[in-house]
Amino acid sequence: MQEHNLEHYNPPPDTGLSVIYADSCLLVLDKPSGLLSVPGRGEDKADCLISRAQKEYPDALTVHRLDMATSGLVVMGRGPAMQRALSIAFMERKVKKRYIAVVDGIVETNSGVIDLPLSIDWPNRPRQKVDLECGKQAITHYRVISRDTGRDLTRVELDPQTGRAHQLRMHMLHLDMGHPILGDDIYAPPEVLAKANRLLLHASRLVLRHPVTFEEMEFEAPAPF
The amino acid occupying position 71 is S
Looking at 67, 121, 148, 185, which residue is catalytic?
67
Mean pLDDT computed over 144-173: 96
Nearest-angstrom CA–CA distance, 92 and 42: 32
pLDDT computed for residue 47 by the predictor: 96
pLDDT computed for residue 8 by the predictor: 80
Residue 169 CB neighbours (<10 A): 24
pLDDT computed for residue 63 by the predictor: 98
Q: Could you give the domains of the chain? A: 99-201 (3.30.2350.10)
| pTM summary value | 0.94
* pLDDT beyond 60 at 1: no
**Nearest CA among 133, 130, 197 for reference residue 166:** 130
pLDDT computed for residue 34 by the predictor: 96
For residue 172, what are the CA distances in angstroms to 13, 140, 143, 182?
A: 30, 9, 12, 11
Nearest-angstrom CA–CA distance, 156 and 84: 32
**Nearest CA among 180, 179, 215 for reference residue 199:** 180
Residue 7 CB neighbours (<10 A): 7
Does the annotation mark 67 as catalytic? yes
pLDDT computed for residue 6 by the predictor: 62
pLDDT computed for residue 3 by the predictor: 42
Mean pLDDT computed over 42-65: 96
Q: What is the pLDDT of residues 68-121, one digit of tens each?
A: 999 999 999 999 999 999 999 999 999 999 999 999 999 999 999 999 999 999
Going by pLDDT thresholds of 50, 70 and 90, the confidence category of residue 199 is: very high
Q: Which residue has the higher pLDDT, 44 or 182?
A: 182
Nearest-angstrom CA–CA distance, 39 and 181: 25
pLDDT computed for residue 125 by the predictor: 86
pLDDT computed for residue 177 by the predictor: 85
Q: What is the pLDDT of residues 6-18, one digit of tens each?
A: 668 999 999 999 9
Nearest-angstrom CA–CA distance, 95 and 219: 11
